[in-house]
Amino acid sequence: MLDIGFFTKATACRETLVIAITTVAAFALFFLFPQSSRAFIFYGFSLWYMLLMARYVALFRRYYKRYLQLMDNYFSDDERQRLHWVPVAFYSAFGVGVIALLFALLITPFTQLLFMLVTTVYYSVFAIRFINYVDIFPKIKEPLRDTVCEATEPVEVPTDPSSDMMVVPTDDDLLLMQEIERLMQEQALFKATDLSIANLAALCGKSHRVVSMAINHCQGVNFKTYINEYRVAEAARLIETGWLKHHTLDALALETGFAGRVNLYRAFKRKMGVSPTDWEAKART
């Protein structure tokens, strides 16, 4: 789900083959060796099982980090929260695996009941969420294609503009950045809550990857952070003019392009160091 190019037919066969061979080997050794050695075989393959789970955890963390980078470089708001259930589902599956191992090590009526309850609840919830994924996928399909189209690992975007990781922008980057800045200032594109880098790229006549790289190289931030800086600046300006005296924080969020007051609060606090209400109190003094 996080990388539409990862689970190919070859990958599926390879992953299945490793597990199948190990399972067959485990049963073969279990029946070929004397009963006195079966405990060592069981614990040995239990260790292999735990190492396999650890591998999948590391793999998931790497791809989920990549997914978050793609979302922040494509959407201007917390679109990634639409799949916040993915890590919950994965680590829940990991918990089911741990309980299955405990059940194998200690078979009692209690552990059997616990395992059955946990698996029933998990797979029921996961099935419901996965069905919803069919509706969510079209919204995130375009940025996820980057994992297929790009063979290289994503470049980390430094959060500190003075970082040594900063890439020197090219002349094309600078020219494109000037056009982006003009669109933001003259048309106030940042006020559109559904703004994505694809929308911006269409106005610039460039691909969204080219626009993303220009922002990364010139500003040292991802697309979401760049747009939110404009939104926070506009929110701060409105607050200073007394806008909140006649409007709510929800209205302020919509006016400045945020999807909701929570998104406004987080971005404002991150950028300005204080909440919007504290900024209002500061403006009155």
100: CB partners within 8 A, 6+ apart:
115
What is the full DSSP assignment across 136-201? Answer: HHHHHHHHHTHHHH--SPPPPPPSSTTSTTPPPPPHHHHHHHHHHHHHHHHH-GGG-TT-BHHHHH
State the pLDDT at residue 57: 92
CA–CA gap between residue 255 and residue 251 (Å, rounded):
6
pTM, rounded to two decimals: 0.76
pLDDT above 70 covers a percentage of the chain that reads 90
Q: Which residues is 196 bridged to in the sheet?
A: 75
Location of structure tokens 């279990």: 30
Residue 155: per-residue pLDDT = 43
Q: Burial-class residue 162 by CB neighbours within 10 Å (0-12, 13-18, 19+).
A: exposed
Which residue ranges in the chain fall short of pLDDT 50? Answer: 148-164
> What pLDDT does residue 136 have?
77
pLDDT digits (tens, 9 = 90+) for 123-167: 787 777 777 777 777 778 788 776 544 433 444 444 444 444 557
Write down the pLDDT at residue 204: 93
Looking at residue 83, what is its pLDDT?
78
Q: How far apart are CA 138 and CA 155, in angstroms?
A: 25
User: Under DSSP, is residue 113 helix (H, G, I), strand (E, B) or coil?
Assistant: helix
Per-residue pLDDT tens over the stretch 161-177? 444 455 788 999 999 99
Q: Which two tokens stand for residue 197?
A: 């880098």
SS (H, E, C) 220-261: CCCHHHHHHHHHHHHHHHHHHCCHHHCCCHHHHHHHHCCCCH
Q: Residue 130's pLDDT is what?
A: 76
3-state secondary structure of 95: helix
Which residue in 272, 189, 181, 184 sits closest to 233, CA to CA?
272
Which pLDDT belongs to residue 160?
Answer: 47
